[in-house]
Chain A
Amino acid sequence: MNPTPPIQTSDFVLQTSTRRGLNPARAVLDNGVVLLAKHTTTTPAVSINLAIRAGSACDPPDAPGTTWLLSRVIDRGTAKRSAADIAEALDSRGITITIAVTRQLFSLVCTCLAEDFEAVLALLGEIVITPSLLDREIETRKGEVITAIRQDDDNPAVRASESLMALLYPDGHPYGRRTKGSIEVVETLTRDRLLHLHDQRFAPTELSAAIVGDVNPSHVHDVAAGVFGRWQNAAPPPITLPPVRHATRRQRLVIPMMNKAQADIAYGFTTITRRDPDYYAFWLMNNAFGQYSIARADPAYYAWWLMNHALGQYSMSGRLGDSIRERQGMAYYVSSSLDANVAEGPLVIRAGVSPANVDRAVASIDEEITRLITEGLTPKELDESRRYLIGSIPRALETNAAIASFLQIAEFFGLGLDYDVRLPDLLGAVTLDQANAAARRALHPERATIVIAGPYADVESDNRLIG
């Protein structure tokens, strides 16, 4: 194995964008690792976001959930350190590594004090490159994953969302599979399968490291080059996704969960890819229709779910919230989310309602969609959404972790180092006709896929859809 000499710091700095805005530095090591860095001084801390193009779409077709189990085990020992050593290294610095698996990405994210940056990045590098994946760790984590799957099975919101994705993306499409997999599959997974997956998909060409905080970008480069510069592994073949088939008829599935108090509705469509030229028109249309004021990526969103005790307003805007929550008082939450992705992602409307209000709520969603595609948004609605989305950019880029996440999205979709600067213009250029055309292109009650999970049963459910 030939060591890869890191590029010179001066090259790294020269590639820095000179325009105003975030102005991140970007470099590519000789082995293909992408480095993104941004110096901030808000707190004496650094956020590290490592994204590997090895999400659940890479699961072996016969073993959905393999990537998820790998994510639970990967930080439980490396070639040099035991699980206990890693635990001590993290806990003594007050650090938690959050390992997330999306359809496309496998991410390791943490925030540490600036004084710990070098040691923490070195540890993360070991975890990514040389995980030990020991049998005893795999067995323990399997128990946790199986318990989590059982918890999901008892959660109407999860059941509704996962079943909707399975219906929108049928026939084993990676977007339709449960990320955690099934208990039956998880029980059969072996160390060899995890090692094989890691060897096949984890390579320097697949890694992008975003590092934001109180550390100089040139120092980031030097440290990251030392950690990742010698890593060699062949680039995997690109992930190929099957074509997405858009629904041509209305589908409705009911999952009776009579032990629950509230029913969850997931109502959705397949839409567009992130690279579609109409993406910004879709984004604005969705915002006016029912996007969260608190975006799902906002940490506060998760804080609300995790905080059992304190009860708050569910920040929501748009027509759905106005109709179903504000005017009719039917639901605590109702919203729509757009997840344009590598393949045509979903637009999903979710609502939590009393079982007695399920039919009314679905009818109201139908009604709002019909109104949207026949009458369109008003100029005022579009203007308000545009002002909101543009105005929220400084807030969305306030924290180190949020900036690092933003840089990773821009890198993954090839949006450019100046994406934050161009974004207002991209949103500003969308016309009312384009936003309304986006609604007509993707939404129609007759092509809607609807899943209801909770204390509700009806005869309209298309039981052929089950399983």
Chain B
Amino acid sequence: MRATTLDNGLKVLVQEEHTAPLASVWCWYKVGSKDERPGLTGVSHWVEHMNFKGTTNIPRDQVKGIIEQYGGSWNGYTWIDQTTYLETATRDALDRMLFIESERMANCLYHPDDCESERTVIISELQGGENDPDQLLDQEVTATAFKAHPYQHPTIGWLPDLKAMTRDDLYGYYRRYYVPNNATLVIVGDVDTDEALRRVEHYFGGIQPGRDLERLRTVEPDQTGERHLTIRKEGTTAYLKVAFHAPSATDDRFVPIVILDAVLAGAKGLNLWSSFRTAPPQRSARLYRALVERGLASSVSGSIVPTQQPFLYTVSVTATDGTSLTSVEAATLEELDRVRQDGITDTELAKAKAQLKARLVFDNDSVTNIAHQLGYFETIASVDVFTALPSRIAAVTCEAVADAARSLLAPSNRTVGWFEPLPIGNGSGKSEVGSTKSEVRSLKSEV
């Protein structure tokens, strides 16, 4: 992999992979929903949508066709730290892919009619998410776990903000953050590095850098007591989530927590783009045995994702039909307390490392997935964090996991959320959220 930076500040990563006649291009921007101020929640994601609607040199109806005529796929996504765009196509489309991304960086149109029609698309996307009780609970638990940090609000944004946002809000945000000195371009595939870099200079070299961006300074204060919330809404199934404030990707405790999660719920891998393809290997994992094998839950999962700033470690449980959330919560917390008290065994550590070794291989089986990983880590931290993962995993000890578990899983660090289904047809469809404010069950901090 070769890394270089253009004069205008654009970081470029190129990795040759000659196993298939394909190339994948990703353009990453260091802007996500954590960069949004109150009143503009959801703007990063809406801007992402607008950046598929034509540029000065690409008519609106040709944005997708340029890549599709090469059989290529295109997409983009927005999350808390990043916004990214990709094309994967046959290698002869490399020039077209670079052209599109350079246009996206500098020349998007933001026609007022397009902004308006996209408002309803995004509200539809939000409503689709609300149809899923598990997703609704995730949103509320995250909002409750954070008091100050903008990781608090969902990437889709709050509905009132989406209704009020203007074209100028969108365009101003686009112009501020879509500059070469805030971006990383990644090329992986059947390419020649020198030639690829020449083409990158051709398309991107003339784009002017933006001014230095003022970055977020908010640090979430330590949580001082357990928080609990309950959503009561018509539905058929009960869900539980337990979220803990967790360290960022560069923190020494991050990889031990990845190991801890593997022991509790099975290793997922660390690729937000591809790790969700299959369920983790979890049948011998502690939470699976305590909940699913005992018939209390139909599924359990853990989630620790590399982020720029401290985010959450979340355990999600689907209660089996007829099982109370009280008993599901008790069994979950009992397991979490046990690992916090006793740590993990050597055998568990070895198994977790073997799982992660396999998952890192499985997560890098295509040019698209490899390119995602390079760009993702460069955007939230540094590509070196990605390349160092195998050695960091190998170096983890049982003691490191036990230390991480003691601070992570402290009761005062957790937020517990319930989705309690009400009988369908007996009330309104609106949800009732109870106890969303912090219930400080333990006044004594247990960090």
- Where the two chains meet, the residues of A that have a C-beta atom closer than 8 Å to any C-beta of B are 40-45, 83-84, 86-88, 90-96, 98, 111-113, 139-140, 143-144, 146-148, 150-151, 153-157, 257-262, 293-294, 298-300, 302-303, 306-313, 315, 317, 322, 325-333, 352-354, 357, 384, 387-395, 397-401, 454-455
**Distance A394 CA – B24 CA, assembled complex (angstroms):** 13
Residues of B within 8 A of A87 (CB): 283-284
Task: In the A-B complex, list the 10 residue pairs whose CB atoms are closest, starting with the nearest.
Answer: A391-B71, A94-B358, A329-B117, A87-B283, A312-B77, A259-B234, A392-B71, A262-B127, A261-B127, A94-B355
CA distance A392 to B61 in the complex (A): 20
CA distance A99 to B65 in the complex (A): 36
Assembled-state Cα–Cα distance A262/B429 (Å)? 11
B76's nearest neighbour on chain A, judged by CB, is A313
Of B7-15, B128-136, B394-402, which stretch is located at the interface? B128-136
Point out the residues of chain B lying under 8 angstroms from A148, CB to CB.
298
Which listed residue (A92, A139, A154, A306) contacts B276, Cβ 8 A? Answer: A306
Count, chain B residues at interface, CB 8 A = 99
Complex interface: chain A residues within 8 A of B278 (CB): 96, 98, 111
Chosen A-B contacts, 19 in total, with CB atoms closer than 8 Å, are: A42-B19, A43-B365, A90-B281, A95-B358, A113-B358, A143-B295, A151-B318, A258-B234, A260-B130, A262-B124, A262-B127, A302-B277, A309-B80, A309-B138, A309-B155, A312-B48, A312-B76, A328-B117, A395-B22
Contact (Cβ within 8 A) A150 B133:
no
Q: Are A93 and B358 in contact (CB under 8 A)?
A: yes
Q: Do the beta carbons of B359 and A398 come within 8 Å of each other?
A: no
| B362 and A45 within 8 A (CB) | yes
List the A side residues contacting B274 at CB < 8 Å.
Answer: 299-300, 303
Asked if A111 meets B362 with Cβ closer than 8 Å, knowing A302-B277, A315-B74, A331-B124, the reply is yes
A330 to chain B, nearest CB (A): 6
Any A CB within 8 A of the CB of B107: no
Structural contact, A393 and B279, CB atoms closer than 8 A: no
CB distance from A393 to the nearest CB of B (A): 7
B295 cross-chain contacts in A, Cβ below 8 A? 139-140, 143
Indicate if the CB atoms of A311 and B281 lie closer than 8 Å. no
The answer to whether B131 and A91 touch across the interface, beta carbons within 8 angstroms, is no
B109 at interface by CB-CB < 8 Å: no
- Residue of A90, A313, A395 touching B49 (CB-CB under 8 A): A313
Bound Cα distance A384, B293 (Å): 51
Contact (Cβ within 8 A) A310 B155? yes
The answer on a CB contact under 8 Å between B155 and A147 is: no
Selected contact of A303 from candidates B80, B135, B273, B366, CB within 8 Å:
B273
**A394 and B190 alpha carbons, distance in the complex (Å):** 12
Q: Are B283 and A90 in contact (CB under 8 A)?
A: yes
Are the C-beta atoms of A150 and B237 separated by less than 8 Å?
A: yes
What is the predominant secondary structure among interface residues of chain A facing chain B? mixed
* A398 CA / B122 CA spacing, docked (Å): 32
Which of chain A's residues have a CB closer than 8 A to the CB of B116? 329
What residues on B are CB-neighbors of A150 within 8 Å? 236-237, 321
Given the interface pairs A394-B20, A399-B365, the reply to whether A330 lies near B124 with Cβ below 8 Å is yes
Known A311-B125, A388-B71; contact A91-B365, beta-carbon cutoff 8 A = no
Flag if A94 contacts B357 (CB, 8 Å): yes
CB <8 Å contact, B121 and A151? no
When distances are taken between beta carbons in the complex, the residues of chain A under 8 Å from B52 are 313
Is A92 a contact of B351 with CB atoms below 8 Å?
A: yes
Residues of A within 8 A of B74 (CB): 293, 313, 315
B193 at the interface (CB under 8 A from A): no
Tell yes or no: B424 within 8 A of A by CB. Answer: yes
Please pick, from A156, A317, A332, A400, the residue contacting B124 in the complex, using a CB distance under 8 A. A332
Instruction: Name the prevailing secondary structure of the B interface residues.
Output: mixed
With CB as the reference atom, state the residue of chain A lying closest to B44: A311
Q: Most chain-A Cβ atoms within 10 A of its Cβ — which of B233, B285, B318?
A: B318
- Asked if B403 CB lies within 8 Å of chain A CBs, one says no
Given contacts A312-B48, A329-B116, A399-B365, 20 further A-B contacts (CB under 8 A): A43-B362, A86-B283, A91-B355, A92-B354, A92-B355, A96-B278, A111-B362, A140-B295, A151-B237, A154-B237, A156-B131, A260-B131, A293-B68, A294-B73, A330-B120, A332-B124, A354-B120, A354-B124, A393-B71, A395-B71
Asked whether A143 lies within 8 Å of B356 as measured between CB atoms, the reply is no
The reply on B343 being an interface residue by CB < 8 A is no
Pick the contact of B298: A143, A156, A332 (CB < 8 A).
A143
Looking at B20, B124, B357, B425, which has the most chain A CB atoms within 10 Å of its CB?
B124
Bound-state CA distance A112–B359 (Å) is 9
Mark contacts of B43-85 with chain A using CB atoms, 8 A cut-off: 1 yes-contact digit, 0 otherwise. Answer: 0010011001000000001001100111111111111100000
Taking a contact as CB atoms under 8 Å apart, the answer to whether B128 and A329 are in contact is: no
Q: B282 at the A/B interface (Cβ < 8 Å)?
A: yes
With contacts A94-B357, A303-B277, A332-B124 taken as known, whether A154 is within 8 angstroms of B235 at the C-beta atoms is yes
Residue picked from B116, B135, B156, B298, most chain A C-beta under 10 Å? B298
- CB-nearest residue of chain A to B21: A394
8 Å CB contact of B117 from A42, A146, A327, A397? A327
Query: Are A308 and B118 within 8 A (Cβ)?
Result: no
Nearest-CB residue, chain A, relative to B296:
A143
The verdict on A392 contacting B277 (CB below 8 Å), with A87-B283, A94-B267 known, is: no
Chain B residue with minimal CB distance to A114?
B361
* A313 vs chain B, min Cβ distance (A): 5
Given contacts A43-B365, A310-B79, contact A388 B69 (CB under 8 A): yes
B429 pairs with A400, CB closer than 8 A: no
B47 shortest CB reach to chain A, Å: 12
A188 to chain B, nearest CB (A): 16
- Return the chain B residue nearest A150 by Cβ: B236
Q: Is the CB of B361 within 8 A of A45?
A: yes
B347–chain A nearest beta-carbon distance, Å = 9
